[in-house]
A = this chain, B = another copy of it.
Amino acid sequence: MSVTAAKGFTAAGIAAGIKENGNPDLALVVNNGPRRAAAGVFTSNRVKAAPVLWSEQVLKSGQVSAVVLNSGGANACTGPKGFQDTHATAEKVAEVLGRGAIEVAVCSTGLIGVLLPMDKLLPGVETAAAQLSEHGGEKAAIAIKTTDTVHKTSVVTKDGWTVGGMAKGAGMLAPGLATMLVVLTTDAELDSATLDKALRAATKVTFDRVDSDGCMSTNDTVLLLASGASGVTPEYEEFADAVRQVCDDLGQQLIRDAEGASKDIKVEVINAATEDDAVEVGRSIARNNLLKCAIHGEDPNWGRVLSAIGTTSAAFEPDQLNVAINGVWVCKNGGVGEDREKVDMRYREVHIVADLAAGSQTATIWTNDLTADYVHENSAYSS
Show the binding face of A for B, using Cβ within 8 Å.
44-48, 74, 76-79, 82, 111-115, 171-172, 213-218, 287-290, 293-294, 296-299, 301-304, 306-312, 316, 318-319, 321, 331, 333-336, 370-372, 374-383
Contacts and interface: CB of A to CB of B under 8 A. Distances in A.
A319 B53 CA distance: 13
Contacts of A74: 303
Given A298-B383, A299-B379, A302-B113, A217 B334 contact: no
A304 B301 CA distance: 30
Contacts of A111: 303
Contacts of A215: 288-290, 304, 307-308
Contacts of A294: 378-379, 381-382
Given A375-B370, A375-B372, A306 B383 contact: no
B46 A311 contact: yes
A78 B336 contact: yes
Contacts of A379: 293-294, 296-297, 299
B378 A375 contact: no
A306 B372 contact: no
Contacts of A217: 307
A331 B296 contact: no
Contact of A335 (B78, B301, B377, B382): B78
B336 A289 contact: no
A46 B382 contact: no
A303 B370 CA distance: 22
A331 B378 contact: no
Given A298-B383, A372-B376, A77 B306 contact: yes
Contacts of A45: 307, 310-311
B46 A319 contact: no
B306 A79 contact: no
B306 A218 contact: yes
A78 B331 CA distance: 10
Contacts of A308: 215
A19 to B, nearest CB: 18
8 contacts: A78-B335, A79-B319, A112-B304, A215-B289, A217-B307, A218-B310, A296-B375, A297-B381
B79 A336 contact: yes
A299 B44 CA distance: 26
- In the A-B complex, the 10 residue pairs with the smallest Cβ-Cβ separation, listed nearest first, are A112-B303, A297-B379, A47-B310, A79-B335, A293-B378, A372-B372, A45-B310, A46-B310, A113-B303, A299-B383
